[in-house]
Amino acid sequence: MIDPFGRPIRYLRLSVTDRCDLRCLYCMAEDPDFLPKDEILSLEELERLAQSFIDLGVRKIRLTGGEPLVRRGIMSLVRALGLKLASKELDELTLTTNGTQLAKYAQGLADAGMRRINVSLDSLNPDTFRQLTRLGRLDQVLAGLDAAKRAGLAVKINMVALKDRNELEIDQMLAWCGDQGFDLCLIETMPLGDIDGDRTEQYLPLDRVRKRLESRWTLRPSDYATGGPARYVTVAETGGRLGFITPLTHGFCESCNRVRVTCTGKLYLCLGQEDSLDLRHVLRHTEGPDAVRNAIASAIARKPKGHDFIIDRNQPKLARHMNVTGG
Ligand code: SAM
């Protein structure tokens, strides 16, 4: 699949649920309305959909959500997709998780063929972690990270940088990740969905963070790339990698190779645009894989050049939350 701007589409981010056991301040409202079950794709439908994307040339799948590991039966999907690694239909199967369920699942993920996972962790301070996630217990996530290490999974920590909230903890996170052997990726808040609060109060431009980090750490340019939007440096003092995802200060669209499917089967061609295609309808009302493949291919022909996020006071750029689109 090649989009109208010549970008090959090889990466699918597949959301398996809109539900989450945390309520991160910048991501969700405190009391969100979750979708009714019949709107959510079954595990079999998710697998069929994944197969159609693989048939069309996707080589990397990331499961996300909501929290993918709270979806009942998720490991059967992980194992089914893991078989596509063994048969060389996929190069990579991975996951973005908040880590709360990792103690239970890390070994199973590794056994299914996963090699790397992203774990979202915005603070190492139990009280700040609790405040940011509204529900979370830091010790549970740290136990999950230990299990991931024991299972041999490479871990990248994703930390959303939030003004005043965790801004002063970034140094500590960088040092800790170095000690643990984890990469760290800092993310700017994106204006997705109404949250209970004002986003301009949370937004922290990463060029400012980077300048401050450079006064303490030696950040060396790196050409490491994962096919995602992060730009990496190597931290000389720890040997670890530090990534920056900066949708607001610098666009990351020119090398975009990915599309997203929500847990209801909506194909979004861009995280920051509304255009979507209802693949659930195609899955549920047609026989055989051709109709799904054709629908996907025709949508790719409309993939936009990029997003145009602007942080605007109390005005989300897009109505849908990150837990709906899939992070
Ligand atoms: N539950 C999983 C997790 O916590 O990683 C996967 C889904 S979560 C929506 C994926 C990522 O999106 C997390 O790292 C989260 O911090 C990030 N995220 C959510 N809302 C965001 C926003 N408005 N701006 C930037 N990142 C956001």
Which residue of 15, 71, 120 sits with most ligand 1 atoms within 8 Å of its CB, as the best mutation to test the pocket? 120
Contact 166, 129 (CB under 8 A): no
* Cα 159 to averaged position of ligand 1 atoms, centre (Å): 9
Which pLDDT band, with edges at 50, 70 and 90, does 314 fall under?
Answer: very low
Characterise 321 by phi-psi region: left (phi > 0), alpha (psi -120 to 50), beta (else).
beta
Q: Write out pLDDT tens, residues 243-252.
A: 999 876 655 6
Is any atom of ligand 1 closer than 6 Å to the C-beta of 120? yes
Three-state SS sequence of 255-321 = CCCEEEECCCCEEECCCCCCCEEEHHHHHHHCCCCHHHHHHHHHHHCCCCCCCCCCCCCCCCCECCC
Q: Write out pLDDT tens, residues 149-198.
A: 999 999 999 999 999 899 999 999 999 999 999 999 999 887 766 666 66
The position carrying tokens 């990150």 is 322
Is any atom of ligand 1 closer than 6 Å to the C-beta of 99? no
Instruction: Let me know the angle formed at the C-alpha of 48 by 45 and 54, rounded to the nearest 5 degrees.
Output: 140
* Cα 190 to averaged position of ligand 1 atoms, centre (Å): 10
Structure tokens, 259: 């599309």
Structure tokens, 289: 């894989």
DSSP letters for 147-196: HHHHTT-EEEEEEE-BTTTTGGGHHHHHHHHHHHT-EEEEE----BS--S
Positive or negative torsion for Cα 319, 161, 205, 165: positive
Instruction: Let me know the angle formed at the C-alpha of 269 by 57 and 227, rounded to the nearest 5 degrees.
Output: 55
Mean pLDDT rounded to a whole number for the chain = 90
Q: Write out pLDDT tens, residues 196-213.
A: 666 667 788 899 999 999
Alpha-carbon distance of 235 to 91, in angstroms, equals 28
Alpha-carbon distance of 237 to 144, in angstroms, equals 26
Neighbouring CB atoms inside 10 A of 309's CB total 19
Which of 1-10, 11-20, 87-96, 317-326 has the weakest average pLDDT? 317-326
* Cα 290 to averaged position of ligand 1 atoms, centre (Å): 33
- Residues, the chain: 327
Which of 65-79, 139-153, 272-286 has the weakest average pLDDT? 272-286
Structure tokens, 97: 């998780």
Query: Which residue minimizes the CA distance to atom 13 of ligand 1?
Result: 120
Alpha-carbon distance of 318 to 6, in angstroms, equals 26
Q: Write out pLDDT tens, residues 212-259.
A: 999 999 999 999 987 677 899 999 999 999 999 987 665 567 777 888
Is any atom of ligand 1 closer than 6 Å to the C-beta of 27? yes
Per-residue pLDDT, 203? 84
Is any atom of ligand 1 closer than 6 Å to the C-beta of 15? no
Partners of 11 in the β-ladder:
60, 258
Q: What is the mean pLDDT of residues 93-118?
A: 98
Per-residue pLDDT, 199? 61
* Three-class SS state of 97: strand
60, 130, 131, 62: which is closest to 100 by C-alpha? 130
The share of the chain scoring above pLDDT 90, in percent, equals 70
The position carrying tokens 């929290």 is 67
Characterise 326 by phi-psi region: left (phi > 0), alpha (psi -120 to 50), beta (else).
left
Q: Write out pLDDT tens, residues 278-300.
A: 999 999 999 888 999 999 999 98
